[in-house]
Amino acid sequence: MSLVPLDQDGRLWAFNTPHSSYVVGVVVDPATDEAVVLQKYWGANLPPAAAREAAAMPAGPGNTPGAGRHETSFSRPAEIEEVLPVDGGLRWGVPALQVAVDQVRSLELRFVGASAVREGGADRLDITLEDHAFPIEVVLHTRVYADSDAIARWVTVRHRAGKNTAVEVSRLDSGSWFIPDAEDYRYRAVCGAWAEEGQLQQGLLPVGELTFTSRQGITGHHANPWIMIDAADAGEEHGEVWSVALAWGGSWRMTTTRRPEGGTAVTAGFGHDGVRWTLPTGAELVTPAILGLYSANGFGGTSRGWHDHVRRHILPAGDEDRPVLYNSWEATGFAVTEPEQLAFARSASALGAELFVVDDGWFGRRDDERSSLGDWWPHRERFPDGLRGLFDGILALGMRAGLWVEPEGVSPDSELYRAHPDWVIHLENRRRDRKRHQLVLNFARADVHDWALEWLDRLVANLRLDYLKWDMNRPFTQAGSPEPGRSHDGVWIEHTRQVLHVMATLRARHPGLRIEACAGGGGRLDLGILHHTDLAWPSDNTDPVDRQTTQHGVSQLYPANVMSAWVTDSPNANTGRSTPLRYRFHVAMAGVLGIGADMSRWSPEELDEARTLVEQYKTVRHTIQHGRQYRLGGRPGAERSALQYVLGDEVVVLVYNPRGNAKSGPRWLRLTALDPGARYEVAAGGDTDGVPGRLPARSRWHGGTLMAVGIRPVAWEPIGADYRSDLIVLRRTRA
């Protein structure tokens, strides 16, 4: 059982995952009856007796009121260990829950009860607290899965029916996670910008408060809602790492507090500074989930824990192999026409692509980014007979068909906006500033999300679409929802919820439909959107070298089967860098392979090579998309690096060397996670020039040798050209 009660009173519980335990307990102050829910332990698995002992230890770095002779009036309270520290009582830290009742911003909660619920392969515990005087009820939910190391938590806040009280919520986090006491702490997170997403940053955690946030109404390119913390001693494959991720695709805020007296905690939730939600009598606000995952196996082990969780419990179709896609955006821009798209479809199909996606430019009068978002009918000049001809043609080639849409976007120069200027997110008497010449539709309005669902549903049905690329190119500004009876700031939550609701409804009506999440590249990639989508477009920058850095950042939390990756033309449209076709393919093979090039410019040799590489990818994609990933070697994109995937008996290794002639750096690549006593046969890649450590076809090697000594990839030799790479496949043999 994953949820284990640890006491008779129903106030202490252990949540056990396959490799960790998380212990929480309710502590009631006998003098005031105030209850706090404390995190008592989070780390490696503990049997119940040890978990009980751990829980009985005095509070860690905090000073519980009256706890000892060193307490002074300035000593910090134990709030850092609370699973949801409120604004109220004897607390000075970051409040995870801040509520004003008739303008009094101070909660005093008492324990009401707790109940456990069995949910298939998961256990859930709900702990209910209520304010002793105000009509506020708080329920702390925790879910633990039998087959995942991630623990999910979320919160419901209710304004209980009763007398007419004004309740305003200014912070409602999904939960706070306490990181055990250590000499020092280091954080790992990603930062970035448009076309430079997923840049890994790592540093010592400063004493103080460190906030990562998005105020954009979408997840954002500049940060991603997760953090990993270690005691400055973990490596890629060793050491303890505590990580936290928020499942939300709108604005968010994640604050890590490190106190001078010791103790670190991470609290995160939807919303950002200044946003306030009014909670009418009888209403409730439910947060998205925040997930915590402990690993004793370094950052690599942490990533694999997240990958497993995303595939098993977040993605709607996480066990499927994703098709090889073609999309002409980088080749044609907005200029999509039926004859040219069909020509691309024919050559993409000849290369082995299985899904053809028509990108921006097919609708309204959309010739560039200045108009037509909202006018979701075929562009009359480009598609005078509609889109059926094109889509029938794609389907006739045996490919699946997909279409780009941006349902939340609206161009002021559109028939939709002229008819419904009040449908956009705006504030009265404030400008409606444009960005990328567009505004955002207010999905919090029922007429707007009903409209979106209606045209999307019709489009998917009429064109027999298997796939939507759902883009979003305009962060929120001047955001409000000025309809009578509505909370202005409610739009920051409700918009995201309704976007997800439209996606979920479409999927329910069209079970074969798959959705790619995109927001001008990687602006909306998070565990929230992935509940209703299948993969995400990590960046508009398709330069393979830059992509290696981005993919490295993305891979920290997200598995390969959510990472859309295209091979595009060389020199690259974003960077002007020239790279060999093979390198571009090998980089894109680390995710869901797609092609985004103008193949009419490829030579017959390049087309042949591409066909072979697509074919090769298909033979190994199951292992890449669903296997356990190991990041080997140096900094991806800058140094010799490699990725290894293991699933069952198959081992796939992608090897890269961007600086071909670099004399420094390793030559030998030690593989990992193999069966030391078993022998592995070389199924593809390697080389046959007789150098020790090379892998002649069909040669067999002990797993122990491959791990202890390693292999010597030709691509890693300092013998010339830049951007060399290889795909090596090994299979465990029974002999």
Binding site for ligand DGJ (CB under 6 A): 329, 359-360, 404, 471, 473, 518, 520-521, 537, 540
State which residue, 171 or 524, has the beta carbon closest to ligand DGJ: 524
CB atoms within 10 A of CB 572: 20
- We find the least distance from the C-beta atom of residue 360 to ligand DGJ, in angstroms, to be 3
- We find the least distance from the C-beta atom of residue 404 to ligand DGJ, in angstroms, to be 5
Residue 200: strand pairing partners? 190
State which residue, 177 or 537, has the beta carbon closest to ligand DGJ: 537
- We find the least distance from the C-beta atom of residue 436 to ligand DGJ, in angstroms, to be 8
CA distance 658 to 541: 17
Q: Among 408, 437, 413, which residue's Cα sits nearest to residue 425?
A: 408
- We find the least distance from the C-beta atom of residue 243 to ligand DGJ, in angstroms, to be 27
State which residue, 230 or 516, has the beta carbon closest to ligand DGJ: 516
- DSSP strand pairing (241-246 vs 290-295): antiparallel
State which residue, 271 or 523, has the beta carbon closest to ligand DGJ: 523
Q: Collapsing DSSP states into helix, strand and coil, what is residue 529?
A: helix
Query: Which pair of tokens denotes residue 16?
Result: 């056990």
State which residue, 287 or 539, has the beta carbon closest to ligand DGJ: 539
State which residue, 218 or 728, has the beta carbon closest to ligand DGJ: 218
Cα-to-chain-centroid distance, residue 536:
9
Residue with CB nearest ligand DGJ?
360
CA distance 356 to 277: 43
**What torsion do the CA atoms of 293, 294, 300, 303 make, to the nearest 10 degrees?**
0
State which residue, 179 or 567, has the beta carbon closest to ligand DGJ: 567
- We find the least distance from the C-beta atom of residue 491 to ligand DGJ, in angstroms, to be 23
CA distance 256 to 264: 7
- We find the least distance from the C-beta atom of residue 41 to ligand DGJ, in angstroms, to be 43
Of all helices (H) and strands (E), which one includes residue 504?
A: helix 491-509
- We find the least distance from the C-beta atom of residue 582 to ligand DGJ, in angstroms, to be 24
CA distance 595 to 245: 31
Residue 699: strand pairing partners? none
- DSSP strand pairing (467-470 vs 439-440): unpaired
- We find the least distance from the C-beta atom of residue 505 to ligand DGJ, in angstroms, to be 23
**What torsion do the CA atoms of 665, 669, 673, 675 make, to the nearest 10 degrees?**
-160
What does 192-212 look like in DSSP terms, one character per residue? --TTS--EEEEEEPPSEEEEE
Q: Among 527, 525, 510, 392, which residue's Cα sits nearest to residue 470?
A: 525
State which residue, 363 or 476, has the beta carbon closest to ligand DGJ: 363
- We find the least distance from the C-beta atom of residue 327 to ligand DGJ, in angstroms, to be 7
| Apex 89 CA angle, 87 and 90, nearest 5 | 105
- We find the least distance from the C-beta atom of residue 336 to ligand DGJ, in angstroms, to be 11
- We find the least distance from the C-beta atom of residue 527 to ligand DGJ, in angstroms, to be 20
State which residue, 521 or 637, has the beta carbon closest to ligand DGJ: 521
Q: Among 294, 314, 203, which residue's Cα sits nearest to residue 244?
A: 294
State which residue, 403 or 671, has the beta carbon closest to ligand DGJ: 403
- DSSP strand pairing (641-647 vs 679-684): unpaired
State which residue, 305 or 475, has the beta carbon closest to ligand DGJ: 475
Contact 18, 149 (CB under 8 A): yes
**What torsion do the CA atoms of 709, 712, 713, 715 make, to the nearest 10 degrees?**
130
What does 574-601 look like in DSSP terms, one character per residue? TT-----HHHHHHHHTTSEEEE-S-GGG
- We find the least distance from the C-beta atom of residue 668 to ligand DGJ, in angstroms, to be 39
| Apex 638 CA angle, 635 and 644, nearest 5 | 45
Contact 232, 205 (CB under 8 A): no
CA distance 352 to 357: 14
- We find the least distance from the C-beta atom of residue 334 to ligand DGJ, in angstroms, to be 7
Q: Among 211, 186, 207, 189, which residue's Cα sits nearest to residue 198?
A: 189
State which residue, 192 or 520, has the beta carbon closest to ligand DGJ: 520
State which residue, 275 or 515, has the beta carbon closest to ligand DGJ: 515
